[in-house]
Structure 1
Amino acid sequence: MKLTIDHADLAAAVSYAARSLPARPPIPVLAGLLLDATGDRLRVSAFDYEVSADTSAPAAVTENGRALISGRLLSDIVSTVRGDVHLELRGPRLVLKAGSARFILPTLPLEEYPALPEPGATAGTLAGPAFAEAVAQVACAVSRDESLPILTGVGLRHDSEAATLTLYATDRYRFAVRTLPWKDADLADTSAVIPGRALTDAAKATADDTTVDLALPTGGSGLFTLRSEHTTTTIRALEGELPKYDALFPTEFAHTATVEIAALKAAAQRVALVSTKKDAPIKLTFTADSTLVLEGGTDDDAQAVDNVDTSLTGGELTIAFNPAFLLDGLSALTAESVQFDFTSPTKPAVLRGHGSDDQALRYLLMPIRLSS
């Protein structure tokens, strides 16, 4: 293998593939990035049996060849050099030259590296920025508790009759749902749960691509595929199903309030500063004079009070939330104002962008019961 490649192209390819490198590889070769120089492109791949990432970049290849190199080391090196990068495989070593720098890197045994999984057939295409935004919006509700693996995933549900793809996630304390139109999907009704962290990384990496192709797990394949012009990611789906969200979201409400998101976030962050416990609630009181009063802290500790303007229908209401969960929901919304829909102070509230349609983000948030 012998080639010259622009530094920016190599850095982008290595960065994309390195996202899938396992933190604790089950076998040493899975810590490597597979370099495959053929024709006029350099292909860079990573695989850990659950997630594969494969991308390519233009290169001046004078000798075709393959090499398996420590991914973390290569990533660190590429991030520090500039100018054209020259790669040459010399026996069991890869020589990397860039500017005045020269590195001699040991290779890992190619024969021990597993074959990458076959990507699924494309079911439909979405705009890259729209898909990345939808994934990021629902990912805020993904659980970080590995003892319940299914809750660490993002659900994908295709409805062929409605021609939509719905993304959803929950950690039992909140539920985020976002729907995208998917009119060109050639796929029957299906659903799958994809590991949230891997899906978020893959979607973020293709956020600047005009379009992305999706393949949902079908026929027992168990693989989700996200593909753009020069990148392909496969992710093994989680076993099981997330709770059904349709029945969880109320359709009738006793109270509705609208608040400017920027002002509410700033006030909530200030009030939360006095909380000595991570999950200590902040109390929200929506008053008849169009004021939302936020209170935090306890009688025995520091206390804080702030207020913002609101519009309210349905009468005064006092409710309490985990401040981190409230801020996550507010940050995920793209509108200027949030609409709160309430049934009662002890039942979940629904947050959505004011004036948004049913396909926009809906965020169901459990309240915290206040002690009397």
Structure 2
Amino acid sequence: MRFQVERGVLAEAVGRAARALPGRPAQPVLAGLRLTAAEGRLAVAGYDHEVSVRASVQADVVEPGEVLVAGRRLLDVCRVLPDGPLECTLEGARLAVTGGGTRFGLSALPLDDYPALPAVPVTVGELDAAEFAAGVAQVAVAADRDDTLPVLTGVRLELDGDTLTLSATDRYRFAVRTLPWRPLLPASDRVDAVVSARRLLEAARVPADSGTVRLALGDGTLGLLGRDTTATMRLLDGILPGYAKLFALPEPVLGVAERSLLAEAVKRVAVVTERHSPLRLAFTAESLLLEAGAGDDDTASVRLPAALDGPAVTVAFNPGYLVDALAALDAPYVEFALLGPGQRVLLAGRDSAEATADPGHRHLLMSLKSTG
């Protein structure tokens, strides 16, 4: 095995495939990246039985072949080598990487012990890669971090007609994002699947600069296909609950505030909150008062300009959940659809204080009953 490749090109391919490397591999070979050189291409692959990432780049292949080397060590080597062409040669049980007067010798791992990569399922449609990565990030914040109920750690993908809906919930909040996409399925087919939020978040970043990402589904596997990169991940068993009834609020009062100002104010006031302590938001016709603490506890408050289309109302939230929701909305203004203390509140972005809320991205939070 012998090939030449530019340092930056190799570093990019290794960096993408390394996203599949486990933090604590169950088997030593799973810490490796498989390099396959053939027909003018170099393929770099990582796999941990849950996720696989395969990156393919152009290379001058002198002698085709395969080798398995420690992935993170190879990534470190790629980072410190000087820019310019590299020559990589398999010398017995060692991969020699040479460039700019520097030479590294990386021990090869047993390739025969490396598991076969999963097959890529059938493509079911495509959409803008950057929009998909952003949409996943917007809903993944609402997924559960606790593996007690694995399905709640996932993001649900609903493919219906020309719409892809992403959703996630940990039972205390619920985020939903809809995106346009181009289906390759018959009009009658509707796909519903759940995949690990953490895994999907990482995998969606891989093809984000490809322009278009193709989604593939089948045999318990989701595939993301970019221009030169393919990622697969195992689907989770079970299904997330629906959100339609939760999001249908009967005659809510609408409050509007500038999102960036509110996000900064929440972080500022939350400094005095203890774990699980609520942050109170008191809406009036022209202002929003944020308060934390009460009685003999430390207290903080901030008043911001805001608008309300009905009677004054006070709600309370876990400040961390509110910060996550505001960061994910990515709009100049945020609309609160309010029912009252201890009831659900629906957040959505607005382009201006007077604009209609964006129906494509909504974030539901439960207002805490105790508002101080």
- Structure 1 residues without counterparts, runs of 5 or longer: none
- Give 1:357 deviation, angstroms: 5.9
Counterpart code for 1:297: G
Provide the TM-score with structure 1 as the length reference: 0.95
Task: Output the CA distance in 1 between the equivalents of 2:42 and 2:370.
Answer: 59
Tell me the distance in 2 between the aligned counterparts of 1:298 and 1:99.
64
Task: Confirm or deny: 8 A CA contact 1:5 1:86 kept in the other structure.
Answer: yes
**Among 217, 241, 244, which residue is 2:242 paired with?**
244
Mapped contact 1:353–1:360 kept (Cα < 8 A): no
- CA displacement at 1:183 relative to structure 2: 3.9
1:101, 1:329 → 2: CA distance?
48
Q: 1:178 to 1:371 in 2, by over 3 A?
A: closer
Q: Secondary structure at the match of 1:248?
A: helix
Query: Partner of 1:363: helix, strand, or coil?
Result: strand
2:222 maps to: 224
* 1:10 shift after superposition: 0.6
Matched residue pairs, number?
365
User: What is the aligned partner in structure 2 of residue 78 from structure 1?
Assistant: 78
1:117-156 deviations in Å (ceiling 9; x for gaps): 1101111110111111111110110111122211111000
**Percent pairwise identity:** 44
Residue 89 of structure 2 is aligned to residue 88 of structure 1? yes
Deviation at 1:61, TM superposition (A): 1.3
2:343/2:368 contact within 8 Å kept: no
Aligned twin of 2:282:
285
Q: Aligned AA for 1:262?
A: S
Contact 2:348–2:358 (CA under 8 A) maintained in structure 1? no
Deviation at 1:100, TM superposition (A): 2.7
Distance, in Å, in 1 between the alignment partners of 2:169 and 2:12 is: 32
Assess, with a 3 A threshold, how the Cα gap between structure 1 residues 37 and 183 changes in structure 2: closer, same or farther: closer
SS of 1:79's equivalent in the other structure is: helix
- Equivalence for 1:99: 100
Alignment correspondent of 1:199: 200
Q: 1:341 to 1:359 in 2, by over 3 A?
A: closer
Partner of 1:44: 44
Letter in 1 for 2:309: T
Contact 1:158 1:190 in 2 (8 A): yes
Matched, 1:56 2:52: no
Instruction: Check conservation: 2:335, 2:357, Cα contact below 8 A.
Output: no
Inter-partner Cα distance in structure 2 for 1:144 and 1:49: 20
Query: 1:285–1:318: 8 Å Cα contact kept in structure 2?
Result: yes
- What does residue 159 of structure 2 align with? 158
State how far apart, in whole Å, the 2-side matches of 1:82 and 1:149 are. Answer: 44
The alignment partner of 1:122 has SS state of strand
Q: Distance in 2 between matches of 1:22 and 1:254?
A: 46
Q: What RMSD in Å do the two structures reach over aligned CA positions?
A: 1.4
Q: How does 1:299-314 map to 2 (within 5 A)?
A: 299-314=295-310
Select between 246-255 and 24-33 the one with higher mean Cα deviation.
Answer: 246-255
Asked if 1:297 corresponds to 2:293, the answer is: yes
Deviation of residue 342 (structure 1)? 1.0
Distance 1:320 1:15, change over 3 A: same
Task: State the AA in 1 paired with 2:123.
Answer: T
Q: Distance in 1 between matches of 2:79 and 2:127?
A: 31
Q: 1:345 aligns with which of 341, 344, 353?
A: 341
1:6-25 deviation per Cα after TM superposition (whole angstroms, max 9, x unaligned): 11111110010000001121
- Mapped to 2, the partners of 1:287 and 1:18 lie a distance apart of 51
Please report how far the alpha carbon of residue 356 of structure 1 lies from its aligned counterpart in structure 2 after TM superposition: 5.4
1:9-48 matches, within 5 Å, as: 9-48=9-48
The 5 A counterparts of 1:132-281 are 132-160=133-161, 163-186=162-185, 188-217=189-218, 221-275=219-273, 277-281=274-278
C-alpha distance in structure 1 between counterparts of 2:155 and 2:356, whole Å: 22
Secondary structure of the structure 2 residue equivalent to 1:306: strand
- 1:358 Cα offset (Å): 5.9
Structure 1 residue 323: Cα displacement: 0.8
Question: Match for 1:235: what amino acid?
Answer: M
CA distance in 2, matches of 1:252, 1:185: 37
Per-residue deviation, 1:68: 0.2
Specify the code of the residue in structure 1 equivalent to 2:66.
R
Answer yes or no: is the 8 Å Cα contact 1:180–1:359 preserved in 2. no
How far apart in 2 are the matches of 1:20 and 1:279? Answer: 34
Report the Cα distance in structure 1 between the residues aligned to 2:217 and 2:304, rounded to whole angstroms: 44
- Give the deviation of 1:367 after TM superposition: 1.2
Alpha carbons of structure 1 residues 150 and 347: separation in structure 2 relative to 1, 3 Å? same
Specify the code of the residue in structure 2 equivalent to 1:259: A
Distance 2:14 2:40 in 1: 17
Q: Distance in 2 between matches of 1:183 and 1:81?
A: 42
Structure 1 residue matching 2:192: 3-state secondary structure: strand
1:358 and 1:119 map into 2 onto residues whose CA distance is 35
Q: What secondary structure sits across from 2:33 in the alignment?
A: strand
Aligned to 1:334: 330
SS at match of 1:214: strand
Which residue identity lines up with residue 62 of structure 1 in the other structure? V
Quote how far apart the aligned CAs of 1:334 are.
Answer: 2.1
Contact 2:314–2:340 at 8 Å: present in 1 too? no
Distance in 2 between the 1:121 and 1:359 partners? 31
Q: Which runs of 5+ in 2 are unaligned?
A: none
Query: What whole-Å deviation, never above 9, does each CA across 1:277-317 have from its counterpart, x for those lacking one?
Result: 232211100023x1100001232332111011111012100
Task: Give the SS at the match of 2:97.
Answer: strand
